[in-house]
Chains A and B, each alone.
Chain A
Amino acid sequence: MSAAEDVVTEAPAVEAVPKRAMTLGTGTSLLVLAALLIMPVFVKNFIIFQMTMLLIYGLAVLALNILTGGSGQFSLGQSAFYAVGAYTTAVLMEHFNVNYALTLPIAGVVCFAFGFLFGQPALRLSGVYLALATFALATAMPQLLKLNFLEHWTGGVQGLVVTKPDAPFGLPMSQDMWLYYFTLVVVIAIYIFSVNLLRSRSGRAFMAIRDNEIAASAMGVDVALYKTLAFGVSAAVTGVAGSLGAIAVQFVAPDSYTITLAISLFLGMVVGGVGWLPGSIVGAAFIIFVPNIAEGISKGLSGAVFGVLLFLVIYLVPHGARQVAILGQQFAGKLRKN
């Protein structure tokens, strides 16, 4: 190839989202919160379990949103961080009898370290190259968990069974309902943390890197530090989601954390709207319920139906649920004027 280097002006891979547009208004947030609080009282245990999974996947999508929507780095390796979190919790609970609530911060710290370290070599890569690197991590993880010398801890291919915790202080609640509220508290805490993170100095640094790396470094942002930091934070949040997932499903096995999970989380982010944190829960609902709906429509063609539904969504709202929210806001604004 010629020695001449191409100079192109290219739009950034992730479009800029102003930081105020990344969250919901106070009124809407309180409404959603009230709905989430009351809902379990009226439904069956299985639906409560599904709602718990929805929150957990929502948390994992949120983590990817911090990484991609916040700092503009693309990752197909979230399943690996999710797996590390899940296994940390499972091993601590089953081999060391640690209380389930205490395993969450430990899993978060372990995953933060893992993500931060992985972010170091990933620093030199961007776009498709970074996608390939994270993809490699995701494909390697199940194989690594199956390794012989880890089998004593991880249980090899069979995996580990995790005990589901009872409601404390003799509260009259089923295990599922307790776990739902426990998850809800953790998710809300992390959501508030993430919103504040993106509004802080670090969050502005992330977004400056996303919008233009060269300009950001010229303005004095330590690009290497903040890029790896974004990886670390994202991995930590994904790890906590993984821990909660392990407790809710009561089981961890290498093959639950394949590349399929990473791709689902990615789809969840796109459907929810890249860079719009509340969209994460919408994205999670898409990846949990739409495959079931597709199977309901046609068993043999469930994959094709899923694909068609996905196409429909991205045709109608290429910017995901965020677009719907913005349209709704404009509509409400017009009503108020009239």
Chain B
Amino acid sequence: MELFTNQVLAGIATGAIYACMALAVVMIYQAIDHLNFAQGEMAMFSTFISWQLMQWGIPYWAAFVLTLALSFVGGIAIERILFKPLAKAPILTNVAGFIALFAIINSSAGLIWDFTIKQYPTPFGSAPFLGSQLISTHQAGMIGVTVLLLLGLYFFFQYTKIGLAMRAAASVPESARLVGINTSWMIALGWGMASAIGSIAGMLIAPVVFLEPNMMGGVLIYGFAAAVLGGLTSPFGAVVGGFLVGVFENLAGTYIPGVGNELKLPIALALIISVLVVKPAGLFGRHIVKRV
């Protein structure tokens, strides 16, 4: 029983990472209706920017806020420059564009900051949290930030005019345009927000996985899985999905014989797919009915 609770706690701690990433994935999915494969790389690049700012002697929180602002602007810029011309292209062409963006960011980060692993500071410290060996204050802080972010997004989308406009632009673009919403800029805004949330995720994850250009590879896969599990239409679902995937993964690694670190990922994915087969829109997603 002791082992079980410990593993669940450890799962929740890693789940917080996935939840953060999943939240960013869902944000951009809400805005543009595609999964952005370059999301993890964008987050990685933002994290490198914040690291660079700190190397230049800027204190943590100032660098944090500055990076957030830069990522927001960067996300909008990427949409305006690279993806707006592709708005009318087929979906699969857009996906190819995400893959291209992935390659560009990954390779540039490697060139600017090279591939050596870097330490990244944490504002929360790394002492044991409330006397538990498995969950550190950093991980507790990470969970706290994820929950705060989720609440903030919930209020933004439910109670602000611009949040409402974004939802409208994403779900029924034509009607939204007719009532005077600038849907094209709503998409750009979605990119900016997703990029900013991604940068928060990156800065929180970096102390755990260390900073390097490929740090997001694994995390992004789990983030996607979490987002899909929770339902791509629901930010709340994404966070719950993140924690569930973290716990699944840890329990599978502990209790199923023969599952080492190598097989953890396939098993987590297989489990998610079995959930999807039963609930095709994810745990909290809305079922979308298509007109013939």
Q: Which of A110-137 contact B (CB under 8 A)?
A: 121, 124-126, 128-129, 131-133, 135-136
Q: In the complex, what distance in Å separates the CA atom of A283 from the CA atom of B224?
A: 27
Which residues of A approach B to under 8 Å, CB–CB?
Answer: 1-2, 5-10, 13-15, 68, 74, 121, 124-126, 128-129, 131-133, 135-136, 139-140, 143-144, 146, 212, 214-215, 218, 263, 266-267, 269-271, 274, 300-308, 310-311, 314-315, 318-320
Contacts of A13 in B (CB 8 A): 91-92
Q: Which of B21-45 contact A (CB under 8 A)?
A: 35
Give chain B nearest CB distance to A1 CB in angstroms: 5
Q: Which of B276-292 contact A (CB under 8 A)?
A: 276-277, 280, 284-292
Give chain B nearest CB distance to A4 CB in angstroms: 8
Q: In the complex, what distance in Å separates the CA atom of A124 from the CA atom of B277?
A: 6
Cβ–Cβ contact B104 & A307, under 8 A: yes
Contact residues of B: prevailing secondary structure: helix
Contacts of A318 in B (CB 8 A): 86, 88-90, 93
Q: Which of B2-10, B144-152, B243-251, B260-268 forms part of the interface with chain A?
A: B260-268
Q: In the complex, what distance in Å separates the CA atom of A263 from the CA atom of B102?
A: 12
Contacts of B95 in A (CB 8 A): 266, 270
Contact residues of A: prevailing secondary structure: helix
For A127, give the chain B residue with the smallest CB separation: B91
Contacts of A307 in B (CB 8 A): 99-104, 107
Q: Is B16 an interface residue (CB 8 A)?
A: no
Which residues of B approach A to under 8 Å, CB–CB?
Answer: 35, 82, 85-86, 88-93, 95-97, 99-104, 106-108, 110-111, 171-172, 221, 224-225, 228, 232-234, 262-263, 265-266, 269-270, 272-274, 276-277, 280, 284-292
Cβ–Cβ contact A270 & B290, under 8 A: no
Q: In the complex, what distance in Å separates the CA atom of A278 from the CA atom of B26?
A: 37
Cβ–Cβ contact B82 & A263, under 8 A: no
Q: In the complex, what distance in Å separates the CA atom of A261 from the CA atom of B107?
A: 18
For A274, give the chain B residue with the smallest CB separation: B92
Instruction: Please tell me which one of the listed residues B101, B273, B287, B292 contacts residue A132 in the complex, with CB atoms under 8 A apart.
Output: B273
Instruction: Please tell me which one of the listed residues A6, A121, A143, A306 contacts residue B288 in the complex, with CB atoms under 8 A apart.
Output: A6
For A320, give the chain B residue with the smallest CB separation: B93
Closest 4 CB pairs of A and B: A303-B107, A136-B269, A140-B266, A307-B104
Cβ–Cβ contact B82 & A8, under 8 A: no
